Each structure stands twice: as structure tokens, then as C-alpha cells.
Structure 1
Amino acid sequence: MELPQGFNRRMEQMLGGEYQEFIKSYDEPRQFGLRVNTLKISPREFEAIAPFSITPVPWVPNGYFYREEDMPSRHPYYFAGLYYLQEPSAMTPASRLPVEKGDRVLDLCAAPGGKATELGALVGREGLLVANEINASRAKALLKNIEMMGIENAFITNEKPGNLSRCFEAYFDKILVDAPCSGEGMFRKEPEVAAVWDESRPAYFAKLQRDILDNAVKMLKPGGMLLYSTCTFSSEENEGSISRLLADHKDMNLIEIEPYEGFSKGNPVWGDGNVQLEKCVRIWPHKMRGEGHFMALLKKDGILQKNSDYKIPGSYQPFSGMEKSQRQLLETFCQNVKTERFTAGIDVRGEKVYKVPEFGREVKGLRFLRNGLYLGDLKKNRFEPQQPFAMALRRKEFESVLTLSVEDERVERYLKGETIFVEAGECEQKNGWKLVCVESFSLGWGKLVNGVLKNKYLCAWRKN
């Protein structure tokens, strides 16, 4: 492919004898990858049911290569949220931030959600994910991916980092900053990025990165960890940005990243000469089956104090804060729900019902798209469940389920929003709300009336 001349000159200076091998990698086909959603299925379980050929990504425990012609985004398992399509190198940052269940985690530059959805799976139901995206249209894509993966405890914000840091100073256990960058590592995957590149872009993005990192450090707890990543080769945006961070924040220190044989060390010469920069990791396309990436893992001085003010779901009174009539409608529907976790932390805004996380901080004034899990709407004399609720449920957690095999032609029709017919005995109850599943994985809602399932699959998600 044709690369910008200024880019070529700089890369030849950086790589020396490796330059020709680097350039040759652009004539090779790009790699395609998917990451298994461990909230819904384990990697081994997915391997057993995978409907197309997959090969493990050796440096990511739940990552797999697939063939472009298999088109996994057309398969029902994609709509069930069993996997997220993600370039193999881009899977790496979330896999190298050591998130534990119950952590408070921030993804500061989160759209479209590849890394955020993995972090949401890692924190589990006891933790909290704040996923932020400053661009409003990209934030909507982020919200859809969070909801499709069945993540229950996310706060999706649309804010500047400085506004977040005023609310969340010293709040997060772990922070991921996958920073906006000049995108040089994506030229093979996205040739349009190469077409708009010029030599001023690294300096422009380095300035943005400094502000983002300053606010990220402010939001990190003492003892917490921050992983910085980019998809560029620019030293100004990589070792240069980390050099500035270390100089400006003496309480931050680089730590080793879990290794892989294909990873390359950071280069102190490309920063301020600090030998600690060797702890950074570079992913080169001529050395690994992926695009270009950079990572640095840092820890703030101090001892990490675990969260004492986060309430574990179930520690609330069921349906507290609701009017009696609202509570009765929701209680009636939830008689079919076989788990108590959706009855805690309820918030009603107008007719909409949400299960919300407990922050322990005042978050009023922040722009957000979603706080918690959208359960459904309170209508006159009834409660209507919504798509995110379905995606968070497991088949065994709802009383009345319509389970369709992956070969059943009704699955395709359901995903396109069509009415489908149900024979006697296919559901536990004759009429009413059904959780529609493909095999054992939820897809959405339908309402059965005398053998006809009225399709409630979200219009905006329907298959073309």
C-alpha cells in the first residue's frame, strides 16, 4: 500500500535495519479477530460451539483469529453478545490491566467499546465500570456495545476528562487511557487514516494526551494502576507522553507488563532517556500477527484501599424508592425472574426503570447516556421490559423462555424484527412475555399471544 513519505522517512530513522521488513508487512493481509465475552461464555465453551474456524490469539486468553470470509457479525451468536469483533493487537491493553472483580474501573476514551466491554466483564457484577467518550455520536456506539455484552453496572458518560476528574478525584482502582492518537499503527487496517496523515498530527495528539493523562492521574487512587495505550508508532505520542507524565507526576512509576515473546521494549532514546521506559511495550506488525500498538503500565504510590462505600447488589431493599403502584407492576413482572439482583438499586425516571450502581460520590451535572442497566418502562397497568434487560439475563434466570436452535429459521426472522409463530409446548407458559434465546443465550423479548410471538427486538439493533 502507499504510505505517506514523511511517515516513511521517520520510520526508517526509527527502525534502521528493520525498516524493510516493517515496510514489507504492509503487503501482507490484515488479521481479523474476535474476543469472547466471558460474562456469557468461557473461551473453552465457545471453542466447542464456534460456528466457524477460529485460532487462539496466543497473547490474549480469550482472543481468537478468524477468517474474513466467515463474517461472524452475521451470526446469531454475535447478536447474543457472545463475542466482540476486535483487531488482535487492540485486545492487548485491556488484557494487561490487572482488573479484579469488585474494582472501580474507568475507560477514559472508550468508544467504540472493544476495551470497555472487556473491562466490564472483568469487574464482574460487584464492581463498577465508568466508560467515557467525549464524542456524542461515538458514545452512542459505545452504549450499544456495552448493552449488547450484557454489562449491568456501567455508567456511560459523554464528558471532557476535566469535568470527570472534578467528580472522581482519587476514585478509581484501575484506569485505561486508550488515547486519541495519529493512528499510524492502523494504516494497514484503515488506509483512509494514512490518506489524511501529515507530519503535524503527532504533535497535535501529544498535546491532547498530556491533558487526558493529567486528569487520569488525578482520578486514580493511591496504589491504583493506569494503563496508557495508543495505536501509533510516533515516539512523541508514546515514550514522549510517558516521559512527560513521569516528569509531571513524581508519584507515578512504570511497572512491568505481563510479557509475550513477540512484544518489543520501549526505547528510552525516543523519550527523555529514562531507562525505565524499557518497561513500555511496542507491538510491531512485522513481529506479530497484528497492527501497531504501544502500552505503558503505571502505578501510583501508596497502598490501594478497597472500596468500602460500594454496595454489593442485593444489599438494598428490593424496589426501594418506588411508588406503591410502580412497585406492584415491577413485582408482578419480576415474579418470572429467578434472581434477586435485578430488584436492588432501582431508580425510576419518568416511566423508565433502571438498576443503578452506588457511586459514593455526587455525579449530578455530568452528561451521561446511561447510568446502570435499563430494565424497562412503566406503562398504564403494566411493565414492559427492554432490550438491555434481556441481554443481561441468562436463560435459566427467567421463568418463560422460547429457546430456538441456531439452525431454526425463526432466529433469522426474529433478528429482522418479524413476527414468528410458536407451537404448543415450546414455552413454559402459553401467553405473556418470553425471553427469546438462541440455544442457551438470550437475544431479546417477545410477547406471545395465542401462538403468535409479537416481536419486541429493539428496532435499532435489527439485522439488515
Structure 2
Amino acid sequence: MVTQLPESFIQQMKELLKDEFEAYIQSFEHERYYGLRVNTNKISVQDFLKISPFDLTPIPWTDNGFYYEGDQKPAKHPYYYAGLYYLQEPSAMLPAQVLPIEENELVLDTCAAPGGKSTELAAKLHNTGLLLSNDISTSRCQGLIKNLELSGSYNVWVCSEDLIDLSNRFTQTFDKILVDAPCSGEGMFRKEPHLINSWIQRDDTYYPPIQKEILSSAIDMLRPGGMIVYSTCTFSVKENEEVIQDALDRHPDIHLVSIPKCPGFSSGINMEECVRLYPHKIHGEGHFVALLQKDGDTPQKRYQNIKTSLPESFKEFLNLCTFDFSQGSFIIKNEKAIWSPLQLPEQKKWRLLRSGLICGELKKNHFEPSQALALALKKEQFKNTVDLSVEDTRVIKYLKGETIDIKDLDTKTKGWILICVNGYPLGFGKIDKGIIKNKYAKGWRWQ
């Protein structure tokens, strides 16, 4: 691995780390670290630890993050399909952790795909307020949407816009913003060696102009008094401190806020408030994080919900739910019923891919609920449920899309039923005489 590192990068790191350079090089001989973040939208950390089948060790800079051993396979467990946790590199958990989210705020994730940070921001909102998750790549947004739906987040809108255009639409709107900027990826060389070749082609001079415009546009969208996190997974001063200094120069109404230091954290270069993570000093990969605040204070913006008449077939289905849909509003779009706790102002000609929770699809005289709705509900919020033990072989059969027989548990229920594992929803099915016809989403199935 070390022999693959470009000589110019090696010289850069020698100048940056000085006496610590050899320790950094030796870190390439160590295995990468694996992280799991509990989804507090669905389960508390304490309750998850009671049922976790994995050997977990707390990650010191998070409230809900844990290391797990690489030979364990948490992505092949029913709890993963129930959205109880998200798999994320440990250092990458820090940016969302340091952004102080409060309930009912308007939050923006600017470069959100594949959703690791968005799912945590949504969890910190406790499904109140609204999170706008944006990524300029429409194709990458598909994975973002799936991860948000899997997490049970229903207060999230997803769009695919250039940040400059987005800033013209939402000037001084958001209470909190996260900018996990595209970068040269130097901090991930151990975890993802292919990034070394990308660095050789572009090095650390390609991204700074892009990063500066992204951060400046994001600051334009921040309301006075609001806070913004800027993060990268690279070591380059050009991509980190110089980008922050450019923002401070362009926007004299913002200032740095100190981030508490955990053991092994380093300060920014001539910026004590910032944090640098090095793989030879912590159990994780390389990262840079800065927290900024805009001067002044203005009230949070609030938007009115809208009234929509609903088809009878949808109303009949809603009689099976005890979820409080009255705290938001529905829209019917392209034969889909969509619910959101808040509505942003209507925008023209923007790539809005999701505007809340897609509850399901209207098909002639009947309504078919969505996978997203199943994951957003709690077991007690649906009239007809079957709760299978995690050891029950029917759980995997269901996740594979197979018909399952529950005559031993239920022969009287008919119609839509919510299938759960140890009390946590997985998806819908249609039951008749104890046989459940599988309605688990095809793109989500156990492989």
C-alpha cells in the first residue's frame, strides 16, 4: 500500500505531520475499523444493546456509534432490514454528531448521498421539523432515498440541485446545515486504495474551487444565528483550512465555533476550533471537521400545510393506522399519496425527487401501501400485525420475497398485515386464512 502512495503526497504529509509521519505510515499496516450507528428514530441505544447479536465497543466521539469486528456481518441480519442501525465508517460519524440539531428545525444536508449523515440528522430531529437532503447526482439520490426510507424517516425531502441554484431558492432559510464536501479522499486511502489513483489524476488542487463555492452557497442559505458544519475526508490544508478561511473572508458575519476534543483528536492547522482525525491517532480513518455560526438571530421560518381531498380507497386503508397524520398534510401526485409534516414553498423547475413519506400507490379502486410506510410505522400503529422472532426461519423467507404460512399464529385476519421482527416492522403482506402473500419491495430483498 505505502509503495502506491504518490511521492508528492508523501512529501505533503511529511511537512504536515513532521515527527508523526512514520506513525501515520505504519497505520497502513493495520486493518480498517468498522462502525455501526444505532438508529435512535426506531430504538434507543440502551434497548438496542439488549438485543444486539454483535460484539460492540463504543466509538468515543458519538452517542450512538459502535465498533464491530470485521468478520461479523450486520448487513445480513433482520435488524438491518428493520432499519435499527446504519453501517458507517467511524470517523464519518463525527460531522453529524457535532451539529447541534434541535427538534422542529429546518435542516439541510447539501451533499447527502448515500445518506449516512442524513439518516443521523433525521434521527436527531426525532421526525419533527424538516430535513432537505440534496445531492447533485440524481443517480446517487436513489441510494439516498432508500437509506432514508429504511431508517423510517418521514420528515425528509430529497432534491438533486446545484448548490448555487438551491441557494437562490432558499436564502437565509435553514437553522442548521451540513456540508460534507467532495474531496480528494486522502483520509480514506487505507480503507479505499482505489482513491490513490484518483488523487494521482487530480491531486489536492482540483477540489478547493468547488469546495469554496459549495460552502459559500450553503452559508447563503443559513439563517442568522444558524450553524453549519463543513467536513472532508482529506488531510490537505488547501481543501480544509484554506476553504474555511475563504468562507470567513467572504462572509464576515460567520465565525468558527470550537468542537470538543476527544483523546486522539488534533486541532486544525492554525485553527484551534477545528478538528483533524488521523488514522494513527484514533480508531478510524482521516477526517476534518469545522463548525461555524452566523452572527445575529432571526426567527425560524415556518410554512403552512395544505388541505387535500383523499380517495376513498386510501381513507379505508388509513382506518388501519393509528399514526397521527393530522400533524401534516397529504398531496396526491402521479397516483401516489405523499405525506409530510411540513411543506416547503412551491418551487418551479427544480429536481425534487421526494417530498416526504410516500404512503403508497392508488391503483384503480384500491390502495397499495409502500415499503417506506411500513418502515415509518411502529408496530402498535397498525391494526393487523404479525410479530416473528428473529430466530424464526419465516423472517428470512419473508425478506426473500417468499409466501409465508402463519396458520399457527393467525387464521382469522384478512387483508393488509404488517410483518415485524421482535416488534420492529419489516414490510407489508396480504393475509388470507393464515397465508401471507408477500409485498416486500423487490429492490430491498435479501440476496
Superposed, 1:333-344 pairs within 5 Å as 333-341=317-325, 344=328
Contact 2:204/2:238 (<8 A) preserved = yes
Identify the residue that residue 449 of structure 1 maps to in structure 2: 432
Q: Which residue of 262, 276, 291 corresponds with 2:285? A: 291
Query: Which structure 1 residue ranges, 5 or more long, are not aligned?
Result: 269-276
Distance 2:28 2:385 in 1: 49
Identify the residue that residue 159 of structure 2 maps to in structure 1: 157
Q: Which residue of 342, 350, 362 corresponds with 1:366? A: 350
Distance 1:101 1:418 in 2: 40
Matched, 1:69 2:87: no
Identify the residue that residue 302 of structure 1 maps to in structure 2: 296
Question: C-alpha displacement at 1:141, in angstroms?
Answer: 0.7
1:348-394, CA deviations, whole angstroms, 9 ceiling, x for partnerless residues? 01321000343452323210221100000112222110100000000
> 1:147–1:50: structure 2 CA closer, same or farther, 3 Å change rule?
same
Identify the residue that residue 359 of structure 2 maps to in structure 1: 375
1:138-194, CA deviations, whole angstroms, 9 ceiling, x for partnerless residues? 111111101000000111011110121111110000000000000000001101111
Identify the residue that residue 54 of structure 2 maps to in structure 1: 52
1:59-104, CA deviations, whole angstroms, 9 ceiling, x for partnerless residues? 1010000011111000000000000000000000000000111111
Report the 3-state secondary structure (helix = DSSP H, G, I; strand = E; otherwise coil) of the residue aligned with 1:69: coil
Report the 3-state secondary structure (helix = DSSP H, G, I; strand = E; otherwise coil) of the residue aligned with 1:280: strand
Distance 1:155 1:338 in 2: 23
> 1:377–1:343: structure 2 CA closer, same or farther, 3 Å change rule?
farther
Amino acid aligned to 1:176: L
Amino acid aligned to 1:336: L
4+ long deviations beyond 6 Å: none
Question: C-alpha displacement at 1:265, in angstroms?
Answer: 0.6
Q: Which moved more, 1:131-140 or 1:74-83?
A: 131-140
Identical counterparts, % of pairs: 47
Question: C-alpha displacement at 1:460, in angstroms?
Answer: 0.5
Identify the residue that residue 118 of structure 1 maps to in structure 2: 120
Distance 2:185 2:233 in 1: 5
> 1:382–1:98: structure 2 CA closer, same or farther, 3 Å change rule?
same
Distance 2:301 2:326 in 1: 22
Question: C-alpha displacement at 1:424, in angstroms?
Answer: 4.9
1:248-273, CA deviations, whole angstroms, 9 ceiling, x for partnerless residues? 110110011133122111112xxxxx
Q: Which residue of 39, 42, 46 corresponds with 1:40? A: 42
Question: C-alpha displacement at 1:331, in angstroms?
Answer: 1.7
Distance 1:342 1:410 in 2: 35
> 1:171–1:359: structure 2 CA closer, same or farther, 3 Å change rule?
farther
Distance 2:260 2:132 in 1: 24
Identify the residue that residue 406 of structure 1 maps to in structure 2: 390
Query: Which structure 2 residue ranges, 5 or more long, are not aligned?
Result: none
Identify the residue that residue 176 of structure 2 maps to in structure 1: 174
The TM-score with structure 2 as length reference comes to 0.97
Contact 1:37/1:83 (<8 A) preserved = yes
Question: C-alpha displacement at 1:123, in angstroms?
Answer: 1.3
Distance 1:15 1:425 in 2: 63
Identify the residue that residue 435 of structure 1 maps to in structure 2: 418
Question: C-alpha displacement at 1:200, in angstroms?
Answer: 4.1
Distance 2:341 2:318 in 1: 19
The TM-score with structure 1 as length reference comes to 0.93
Superposed, 1:214-233 pairs within 5 Å as 214-233=216-235
Distance 1:46 1:281 in 2: 30
CA RMSD after TM alignment? 1.5
Identify the residue that residue 272 of structure 1 maps to in structure 2: none
Distance 1:13 1:297 in 2: 25
Matched, 1:321 2:308: yes
Identify the residue that residue 401 of structure 2 maps to in structure 1: 417
Distance 2:23 2:13 in 1: 12
Report the 3-state secondary structure (helix = DSSP H, G, I; strand = E; otherwise coil) of the residue aligned with 1:442: strand
Q: Which residue of 325, 332, 341 corresponds with 1:348? A: 332
Identify the residue that residue 103 of structure 2 maps to in structure 1: 101
Q: Which residue of 247, 252, 257 corresponds with 1:250? A: 252
Contact 2:267/2:275 (<8 A) preserved = yes
Number of matched pairs: 445
Contact 1:125/1:153 (<8 A) preserved = yes
Q: Which moved more, 1:344-353 or 1:107-116?
A: 344-353
Question: C-alpha displacement at 1:333, in angstroms?
Answer: 0.9
Contact 1:6/1:198 (<8 A) preserved = no
Contact 2:155/2:342 (<8 A) preserved = no
Identify the residue that residue 26 of structure 2 maps to in structure 1: 24
Report the 3-state secondary structure (helix = DSSP H, G, I; strand = E; otherwise coil) of the residue aligned with 2:216: helix
Report the 3-state secondary structure (helix = DSSP H, G, I; strand = E; otherwise coil) of the residue aligned with 2:200: coil
Contact 1:7/1:199 (<8 A) preserved = no
Distance 2:344 2:55 in 1: 46
Question: C-alpha displacement at 1:440, in angstroms?
Answer: 0.7
